[in-house]
Amino acid sequence: MRHKAIARCAAFPIADYRLGEKVCLAVILHGGEAVEPGDLLVHLHGAGLSRYDMPEFFIEMTAFPLTASGKILKRELVQWAKDGRIQPDPIRWRDPSQRQES
């Protein structure tokens, strides 16, 4: 949530047939802000997140399901993804400092 465009965020699991689960990053942006998923990955890398911990799915939302006390219901996000109610986009971290030789 240290990124200037992010008002609220949540990480939750997406089912994966090979690995069991992969991480999805769901965000709510401040009004009028826009952000590219790749820019968020660069921000996370700069904050010290390892490439193995990077989210592999991304979704921008307008609201999260919340408890009565205002906590994000991540299990509800998981269920929404399973039901197809939300459709996160796949993203992939590529370290710009690691040039691939052809």
pLDDT in tens, 58-93: 999 999 999 999 999 999 999 999 999 999 999 998
Burial of 60 (0-12, 13-18, 19+ CB in 10 A): middle
Residue 22: domain span: 6-90
Say what the pLDDT of residue 101 is. Answer: 57
Looking at the structure of the chain, the number of domains it has is: 1
Is 100 part of any domain? no
Is 47 part of any domain? yes
Interior angle at CA 14, CA 10 and CA 16, nearest 5: 155
User: For the chain, what is the largest distance between any 2 Cα atoms, rounded to a whole number of angstroms?
Assistant: 54
Is 37 part of any domain? yes
Is 36 part of any domain? yes
Is 97 part of any domain? no
CATH at residue 71:
3.30.300.30
Say what the pLDDT of residue 96 is. Answer: 72
